[in-house]
Structure 1
Amino acid sequence: MLRKVYDFFSSVKLAIVLLLTLAVTSIIGTIIEQQQDPDKYLREYGETTYKILKFLGFTDVYHSWWYILLLTLLGINLIVCSIKRLPKIWKIAKQPRKTLPEGAEKSLKVSHSITLEGTGEEIKKTVTETLKKLKYSTEVSLEEENQTHLFADKNVFARFGVYIVHLGVLIVLIGGLVTAIFGYRGYMNLSEGTSSNLVSFFSGPKIIELPFYVKCNKFTIDFYPSGMPKAYISDLSIIENGKEVYRKKIRVNDPLKYKGIYFYQASYGQGEVTFHIKRGNKRETVSVAFGQPLKFGEGTYLRIVSLDGRTMTMGIEFIQDGKIEEGVIKPFAFYKVPKTDVTFAVVDFKPVFYTGLQVSKDPGTWIVWVGSTILIVGLIVAFFIPHRRVWARIEKKGERRVRLVIGGLTNKGTEGLARELEEVLRAVKSSYCPNTRREEQS
């Protein structure tokens, strides 16, 4: 049973299926806007299609359970594939045959045989020095009375290029999982002078409380003569422990970043309401922009989402214990918040502009960048750096006559290996046999 599971996860076919599935679902996540307001999906796709998309998780692909599962399966597949094939690559890289027996040169991609005038010691020294100049690590693998064997290795790490690629992909997947599990995208609506630490998700009732407050000091918007927005700028401050710790004017594509959280200038709207709130004996007045939640208790929020200009009634979303209830309230009427001692009333409305901020936390970004860098390095190693090996057999044929048999193997770029062996031959020929013809070449 375990063997079958192991073979399943070590399958290349599984990797291809997972990659294709992730590619298709990522395309879907690109075509369908993610984490948008349900009303937008209803307008664009209709109720039936929206329900299908939401059920399948296509409105929030990258945080869906099945997308996280696909990433996890691909990660397991990469690990198991690497473990399964590593012993063979390790043996090739670290346990090579280091001698060149008689006739073995015929199995090499490039080989030469030449007779030289000189001693075996002289030829050995010249061949070794030339290979070292070509960045080979050389050694005498066998030395006997009538023959000497040399072994040279270069870029042995290139054999592990594919594993560097696998490591890079695995780290990228981990970064994606970290973002999918711990990251989020949401929004804040802030009118001038208001601040909040509440981030609403684009769909669903989830609201996140930031460990600091964001304040809109000023919001400026310019329009073209046609009425289309030309530019909008938000002057924002980060308030922590009651003090301003950071301030920046943001524009489209120029966000504010604080503690790994990005605040993008995304939209604008009109409408600010002022609440009069009673909490036991305490009273306070708070102003918030339309769409921005107001906290009444643990897990209890309310936000104004619409205004009927004729009756001045306001549409609300009441969020408690992870559930949304829609309703209507009237100004100057007090309402009690269920399960709390809080009562509230809307006492003022202003048709002022508010800034719409997209709030994004992507804790896996730096992990993805590290993984991408390792992936690129791995691809360079795997595709552009060859692992080359050279064997040489120096045979004594007389008092000052030596036969040199030299050849090599490479996992890529045979032409480069051939040029290097030619350089070795030129070095020995120039010193020991300027007029001797090569006997064999293959």
Structure 2
Amino acid sequence: MFKKLYDFFSSVKLAIFLLLTLAVTSIVGTIIEQQQDPEKYLREYGETTYKILKFLGFTDVYHSWWYITLLTLLAVNLIVCSIKRLPKIWKVAMKPRKTLPPGYEKGLKISNTITLNANISELKEKLIEVLKSYRYKAEVSLENDREVHIFADKNVFSRFGVYIVHLGVLIVLIGGLTTALFGFRGYMNLAEGTKSNLVSFFSGPKIIELPFYVRCNNFKIDFYPSGMPKAYISDLSIIENGKEVLRKTIKVNDPLKYEGIYFYQASYGQGEAFLKIVSKSGQRIIGVAFGQPVKLGENTYLRIISIDGNTMTIGIEFIRNGKVQPGVIKPFVLYKIPGTDKSVAMVDFKPVFYTGLQVSKDPGTWIVWTGSTILILGLIVAFFIPHRRVWARIEKKEENRARLIIGGLANKGSEGLATEIEEVLGVLKSLYCENTPKED
């Protein structure tokens, strides 16, 4: 059973299938706008299509359970494939043959033989010196009175370039999973002078509470003569423990950042309602922009979604434990909040503009950037840095004559290795015997 699972997760076919599936679903996530207001999907696709898209998770692809599952499977596949193939690559890279037996040079793609006027000891030292000048790590692997074997290689780490790539991909996947599991993307609507710590998700009724408040000190919007918005700017403050800890004026593409959470100037709207909230402990009046939730109890919220300009009746969403219940509140009529001791009434309305903020937390951003950097480095190592090996055998011919058989292999770019060996031979020939021809 274990072997079958091991073979399944180490399959290259599985990796190709997962990559293609992720590519297709990512395209879907690009074509269909993600985490938008349900009303927008209903306008663009109709009720039936919207229900299908929502059921399939296409309105929030990158946070859907199946997308996270695909990323997890790809990560497992990558790890298992790497583990399965590592012993073979390790043996090739770290345990090479270091001698050049007679006839072995015929199996090398590049090999040369030359006879020089030098004793084998002198030639050995000079050959090692020249190879080191080309950044080879050279060593004597075998030596006796009749012959010397020399082994040299460089860039052995490039054999593991593919593993650097795998590590980079794995870190990128971890970054994506981190964002999918611990990040969020939502919105806040704040009228001038109001503050809140509640963020509504674009997809679904989920609401989260920030550990600090955001206050809109001022909101300014300019229009073109045609009536189209020209610019909208918000003066925001971060309130923590009752004190202002940060203040910034934001505009489009210039967000406010605090504790890893970004607040972008994204939209605007019109409408601020003043609600009277009555409970056993007393009553209070608060101003709230349309679409911004108000907390009424543990996991209990109320959100204004519409208003009838003639009767001043407001449409609301009562949200409790992630479930939504619609309702209406008539002016000055108390609306009993189910399951609580609170009642709500609308006592005033102002048609003022409010700022629409997009709120996002992406804890995986730096993980993804780190993984991407490692991935690029791995690709450079894997494709542009060759692992080259050189074997040499020096045979004693006469008292001061020796035959040098030298050859090499490269995992890529054999032409470069051939050039290096020619240059090494050129140096030796210039020292020991000019015009010495190479032997066939």
How high is the TM-score relative to the length of structure 2? 0.99
- RMSD between aligned residues: 0.8
Shift, 1:100, TM fit: 0.3
Is 1:34 aligned to residue 37 of structure 2? no
5 Å matches for 1:131-142?
131-142=131-142
Shift, 1:334, TM fit: 1.3
Shift, 1:107, TM fit: 1.0
Q: Aligned partner of 2:49: which letter?
A: T
Name the % identity: 76
Structure 1 partner of 2:84 = 84
Q: Aligned partner of 2:235: which letter?
A: D
Structure 2 partner of 1:75 = 75
Task: Deviation per CA, 1:263-306: give whole Å up to 9, x if none.
Answer: 11110000001111223132222111000000100011111111
Structure 2 partner of 1:195 = 195
Structure 2 partner of 1:147 = 147
Judge conservation of contact 1:272–1:290 (CA < 8 Å) in 2: yes
Instruction: For 1:220 and 1:103, locate their aligned partners in 2 and report how far apart those are by CA, in whole Å.
Output: 85
Structure 1 partner of 2:177 = 177
Q: Aligned partner of 1:368: which letter?
A: V
Shift, 1:20, TM fit: 0.5
Task: Deviation per CA, 1:48-105: give whole Å up to 9, x if none.
Answer: 1011101100011001000000000000000000000000000000000000000111
Structure 2 partner of 1:44 = 44
Judge conservation of contact 1:299–1:321 (CA < 8 Å) in 2: yes
Say which SS state the counterpart of residue 283 (structure 1) adopts: strand
5 Å matches for 1:291-330?
291-330=291-330
Judge conservation of contact 1:294–1:303 (CA < 8 Å) in 2: yes
Structure 1 partner of 2:272 = 272
Q: Aligned partner of 2:230: which letter?
A: K
Q: Aligned partner of 1:262: which letter?
A: Y
Say which SS state the counterpart of residue 135 (structure 1) adopts: coil
Judge conservation of contact 1:109–1:408 (CA < 8 Å) in 2: yes
Task: Deviation per CA, 1:221-257: give whole Å up to 9, x if none.
Answer: 1100000001111111100000000111111111111
5 Å matches for 1:58-137?
58-137=58-137
Moved more, 310-319 or 88-97: 310-319
Task: Deviation per CA, 1:175-203: give whole Å up to 9, x if none.
Answer: 10011111111000001000000000112
Structure 1 partner of 2:168 = 168
Is 1:260 aligned to residue 260 of structure 2? yes
Structure 2 partner of 1:223 = 223
Structure 1 partner of 2:353 = 353
Q: Aligned partner of 1:139: which letter?
A: E
Judge conservation of contact 1:196–1:214 (CA < 8 Å) in 2: yes
Where does structure 1 lack aligned partners over 5 or more consecutive residues? Answer: none
Say which SS state the counterpart of residue 438 (structure 2) adopts: coil
Structure 2 partner of 1:232 = 232
Shift, 1:435, TM fit: 2.1
Shift, 1:173, TM fit: 0.3
Structure 2 partner of 1:389 = 389
Judge conservation of contact 1:162–1:379 (CA < 8 Å) in 2: yes
Where does structure 2 lack aligned partners over 5 or more consecutive residues? Answer: none
Shift, 1:342, TM fit: 1.3
Judge conservation of contact 1:314–1:329 (CA < 8 Å) in 2: yes
Say which SS state the counterpart of residue 211 (structure 2) adopts: strand
Shift, 1:258, TM fit: 0.6
Shift, 1:160, TM fit: 0.1
Q: Aligned partner of 2:195: which letter?
A: S
How high is the TM-score relative to the length of structure 1? 0.99
Judge conservation of contact 1:301–1:320 (CA < 8 Å) in 2: yes
Task: Deviation per CA, 1:307-334: give whole Å up to 9, x if none.
Answer: 1111111111111121101111111111
5 Å matches for 1:344-423?
344-423=344-423
Q: Aligned partner of 1:393: which letter?
A: R
Instruction: For 1:125 and 1:314, locate their aligned partners in 2 and report how far apart those are by CA, in whole Å.
Output: 93
Instruction: For 1:372 and 1:424, locate their aligned partners in 2 and report how far apart those are by CA, in whole Å.
Output: 39
Instruction: For 1:376 and 1:190, locate their aligned partners in 2 and report how far apart those are by CA, in whole Å.
Output: 42
Moved more, 375-384 or 336-345: 336-345
Instruction: For 2:154 and 2:321, locate their aligned partners in 1 and report how far apart those are by CA, in whole Å.
Output: 65
Instruction: For 1:163 and 1:281, locate their aligned partners in 2 and report how far apart those are by CA, in whole Å.
Output: 64
Instruction: For 1:185 and 1:312, locate their aligned partners in 2 and report how far apart those are by CA, in whole Å.
Output: 32
Say which SS state the counterpart of residue 34 (structure 1) adopts: coil
Q: Aligned partner of 1:129: which letter?
A: E
Judge conservation of contact 1:126–1:427 (CA < 8 Å) in 2: no
Say which SS state the counterpart of residue 311 (structure 1) adopts: coil
Instruction: For 2:126 and 2:393, locate their aligned partners in 1 and report how far apart those are by CA, in whole Å.
Output: 13
Say which SS state the counterpart of residue 98 (structure 1) adopts: coil
Structure 2 partner of 1:14 = 14
Aligned length: 440
Shift, 1:32, TM fit: 0.4
Say which SS state the counterpart of residue 59 (structure 1) adopts: coil
Q: Aligned partner of 1:167: which letter?
A: L
Say which SS state the counterpart of residue 271 (structure 1) adopts: strand
Instruction: For 1:239 and 1:346, locate their aligned partners in 2 and report how far apart those are by CA, in whole Å.
Output: 27
Structure 2 partner of 1:333 = 333
Say which SS state the counterpart of residue 121 (structure 1) adopts: helix
